[in-house]
Amino acid sequence: MKKNINIVIIILFLVFLFSSFILNFTPGIKIGENFLSFAISMLKVLPAAFLLIGLFEVWVERKTIEDNFGHKSGLKGYFWAIILASTTVGGTYVAFPVAYSLYYKGAKYSTMFTYLGAAALVRIPMILFEASFIGIKFSLIRLLSSLTLIILTSIWFEKFLQKRDIIIKKVK
């Protein structure tokens, strides 16, 4: 049933785009152009990202992830999560599969959530761009406050999930 609803939504969207181009409906044309632009940018990044995620799945051993991101990693886990996130290219649509892969290989919730939060805020090119326009002092203050809040929120969220016995389902 849900699959049929998804197909109907996709068909309605395509009909809307097609009719917008025929009727010269400017908002619909803009939506189509933005959709196409986003799809092209995703297609440029995702194949390489998924290839790297696949290699990560094969080459990085579970024990390595458990030692550096797992329950016994301590502060080291957060450090590695932030370092990994700062080098992630492709935004959050790459970060989510990487986070799932980390979790599947034994990372604890809080380091996985720290990785996700840091992947959205701590990318090296973004920091350099920000520092060149706003200044290094502002960038450092933003980084330190953001990372502190990300780590604290990740720890709280992990405890929240554990207290309620909520488990993220591992699919494989």
Report the candidate in 78, 153, 149 with the shortest Cα–Cα distance to residue 108: 78
pTM, to two decimals: 0.79
Q: Which residue has the tokens 């919730």?
A: 109
For the chain, how many residues are written?
172
CA distance 115 to 99: 7
Q: What is the pLDDT, as a whole number, of residue 94?
A: 85
> What tens-digit pLDDT sequence spans the chain (172 residues)?
777 888 999 999 999 999 999 999 999 999 999 999 999 988 888 888 889 889 988 999 999 999 999 999 999 999 999 999 998 877 787 899 899 999 999 999 999 999 999 998 988 888 899 999 999 999 999 999 999 999 999 999 999 999 988 887 776 5
Give the sign of the dihedral formed by CA 147, CA 117, CA 60, CA 83: negative
Non-local (6+) Cβ contacts of 65 within 8 A are: 102, 105, 106, 107
Which of the 8 DSSP states describes residue 68? H
SS3 105: coil
Report the candidate in 103, 131, 127 with the shortest Cα–Cα distance to residue 116: 103
Report the candidate in 86, 164, 159 with the shortest Cα–Cα distance to residue 78: 86
Domain parsing of the chain, residue ranges: 1-44, 60-172
